[in-house]
Amino acid sequence: MSEVPTLRVLAVDDEPLAIERMQILCARLPGIELIGTANDGPGALRLIEVHRPDVLLLDIAMPGMTGLQLAAALPQDASGSAPAIIFITAFDQFALAAFEVAAVDYLMKPIDAARLARGFERARQRQTMPAPVASPQWIAEFWVPQRGEMVRVAADDVEHVQAERDYMRLTTATRSFLIHETISTLEARLDPAKFVRIHRSVIVRRDHVARLFHGRSSGWQVELVNGLQLPVGRTHAAGVKALLTGH
């Protein structure tokens, strides 16, 4: 059996206890070498430039330079790739922004060794994948909070999206998930060739629409392939008819 390549890891967090926790966990995991720690963004950038780690364990809420700002400022190496990023944070509302900087995982504090090991495995998988030609314009997947951790939901699995106050409910064939996002921001990031907004609070996946019909008293409605009927807002009716019927 071939030996698992060692991942060289840099931990970045402004809380000493969090750094200590990551040191302990990394020491317990095979194939992991913690090459250094930093307590702020500028210090981390200096260490990254010198040591070229494979993986960053990165806090988000740090003074001066946040983890997201640090991720966006990462230097590229000669092959055009940057360290894989595993965000470790106490906040779930930054998951969408974390996806935009191509993080491989998003862990909620407090973390344990098993969950961190899964994050490292995702970093290993990224090493074997060819580098993307360009950053995707549209969302391909979501990270959503679920029972103390963040789970991935593929955009192609989402059948419809519905606003619930300050949250959006993503519904798939088997379950639904809540994310902290506005519908306008989400609409701008979803591929319009696949998704269409039919109401001020509803977005549907176009290939899950079975029919568009006009109720006698309820106005236009969309029926999905699973039988669910959703209202079409008056301001969206003309655009929905044109997109779904082609004229």
Give the model's pLDDT for residue 133. Answer: 44
Give the model's pLDDT for residue 148. Answer: 61
Note the pLDDT tens digit of each residue in 125-175. Answer: 887 765 444 446 788 888 777 766 677 888 999 999 999 987 889 999 999
Omega of the bond prior to 132 within 30 degrees of 0, cis?
A: no
All structural domains of the chain: 7-128 (3.40.50.2300), 154-245 (2.40.50.1020)
Give the model's pLDDT for residue 1. Answer: 43
Cα angle for residues 15, 20, 24 (degrees, 5° grid): 150
End-to-end CA distance of the chain: 60
What SS3 class is residue 12? Answer: strand
Give the model's pLDDT for residue 245. Answer: 66
Instruction: Specify the residue for token string 């944070």.
Output: 89
Q: How far apart are CA 194 and CA 208, in angstroms?
A: 10
Give the model's pLDDT for residue 199. Answer: 94
For the chain, residues with pLDDT lower than 50 are 1, 78, 80, 131-135
Instruction: Specify the residue for token string 């998988």.
Output: 125
Write out the H or E segment, with its range, that includes residue 196: strand 195-199
